Amino acid sequence: MPRKKTGILILYAIFITVNLSLAQKNNSYPKDDDPLHVKVRMYEQLMLDNHWNEGTILFHALHHQDGKNIDGFGLHSDLIDATGEMLVAYSCKYAITKDKKDKKIADQVFDGILKAETVTGVPGLVARGFYKANEPQWFEKAWYDEWHWSSSMPGYRWLGDQSIDKLVSVFHSLGMYYELAADEAYKKKVEGLLSRFIGKIVNDNFRIMDLDGKLTLWGNMCPDLPHNKLNSLVALAAVKAAQQFTGESRFASAYKMLIEKYHYDDRQLLTNHLFPEHMRHIWDDYHAVRSLYTVMQYETDPDLLNKYRMTLNRQWYVWKDITFEEESTIFYIMLYDLMTGENAMEDPARIDVLKSMNGHKRGTRTFNLPMEDGSRMKITTEYDRASTAFIRNYWFGRYFGFVDPNW
């Protein structure tokens, strides 16, 4: 985007507001009083029309300043999360409907995640996001300066600095897809991606390493470095998932080593912060619950299962009183029910939360972007936040019997 100058630098910054016009492909949002199944159908179409980026799903789809519809124009830092939620949603949906169109979308979403590896040119290195471009777009300035031109897919830009929360999104969503929607050919692709992605992390001593060979900001699960105890749980879940789906003995060996030599099974007991309360982080719980769901599904050792249940009990101390302002928190309770069989979702208040679920309406956001000369450019744009967690909650709830199709 051309640099705009005022002619006078005030405090060494330039502040420019660009009012961007409405340019999305789909502007049809459901009404607040529409039935749940109508809301889901309309938000699914909004995701496919406005957020679709070669199989991946933009977490924030932005408007182009010239009114153009450009695939991939948006924020990519959490693209893998939204894409994983969409993959879980359509895997569950296909398991219910057996509609080939739903399977095709699930396959395309998986292919998008696979492309996030291909675009980096490094086997096992998965990008945060990517898009096709002739030149860098202004939204790149809204995140750390970790954008690269692709060496393996000319004409593409990709975002590095991968993190363990995206690792969780990958192994959780691929596991659901593998079990519910993938055919034999796609199962082989899933096995290959998990083998390369998690295998590279194991080979790099449980660190997510970036293109420059350095540890990413949130990629540390290394037994030789201090790290958050949640990261120990994620490392166990990652290698357990890889072992389950690839059958490779190296992942069983890695899992055993983390437990017997480095005692990750004991470290993960204190995954969440109970006190002081301000240390609790709702999104850490999101990574924890999906990791626990993975290890408790596939672990057979009763002693280890008991330890994972102890961790889940500590999580429940917080979740039993959780509020539902964030759309994924009801998902925690559904997973808790599946792991424990305690029927926590039979609480009428939680059923009401499911009935009242909704997606995100269009909003406005202002970015204050750093320029190369040290100035700032202010851009105000309308944006759409992904409603993939809502769609995932609905179809996951439908598949496991938490959501009534008549709602």
Spatial separation of the C-alpha atoms in residues 249 and 239, rounded to whole Å: 10
- Domain membership of residue 345 (yes or no) is yes
pTM of the complete model: 0.93
Stretch 337-366: mean pLDDT: 96
Q: Does residue 65 register a pLDDT over 80?
A: no
Q: Does residue 273 register a pLDDT over 60?
A: yes
Q: Is the dihedral of CA 61, 65, 70, 75 positive or negative?
A: negative
Identify the domain containing residue 270 by its residue range: 36-399
Please name which of 109, 114, 204, 212 lies closest in space to residue 164, comparing C-alpha atoms.
204
Give me the pLDDT at residue 24, please. 61
- Domain membership of residue 28 (yes or no) is no
- What is the token pair recorded at 193? 């991606």
Strands 207-209 and 215-220, sheet pairing: antiparallel
Stretch 94-115: mean pLDDT: 99
Stretch 349-362: mean pLDDT: 96
Confidence of residue 2 (pLDDT cuts 50, 70, 90): very low
Stretch 47-74: mean pLDDT: 89
State phi, psi for 304 to the nearest 5 degrees.
Answer: -70, -40
Q: Does residue 64 register a pLDDT over 80?
A: no
- Domain membership of residue 390 (yes or no) is yes
Confidence of residue 18 (pLDDT cuts 50, 70, 90): very low
What lies within 8 Å, CB to CB, of 137 at 6+ separation is 1, 70, 73, 131
- Domain membership of residue 11 (yes or no) is no
pLDDT in tens, 114-163: 999 999 999 999 999 999 999 999 999 998 889 999 999 999 999 999 99
* Under 8 Å between Cβ of 93 and 47: no
- Domain membership of residue 384 (yes or no) is yes
Least confident of 131-145, 184-198, 228-242, 292-306: 131-145
Name the average pLDDT for the chain: 92
pLDDT in tens, 368-386: 998 888 899 898 888 999 9
How many structural domains is the chain composed of?
A: 1
- Domain membership of residue 15 (yes or no) is no
Q: Does residue 188 register a pLDDT over 80?
A: yes
- Domain membership of residue 57 (yes or no) is yes
The CATH number assigned to the domain holding 216 equals 1.50.10.20
Burial grade of 358 (CB within 10 A; 0-12, 13-18, 19 or more)? middle
pLDDT in tens, 199-224: 999 999 999 999 999 999 999 999 99
- Domain membership of residue 300 (yes or no) is yes
Please name which of 87, 83, 57, 93 lies closest in space to residue 395, comparing C-alpha atoms.
93
Which residue would you say has higher pLDDT here, 162 or 25?
162
Spatial separation of the C-alpha atoms in residues 229 and 264, rounded to whole Å: 8
Spatial separation of the C-alpha atoms in residues 259 and 263, rounded to whole Å: 4
- What is the token pair recorded at 42? 């309309």
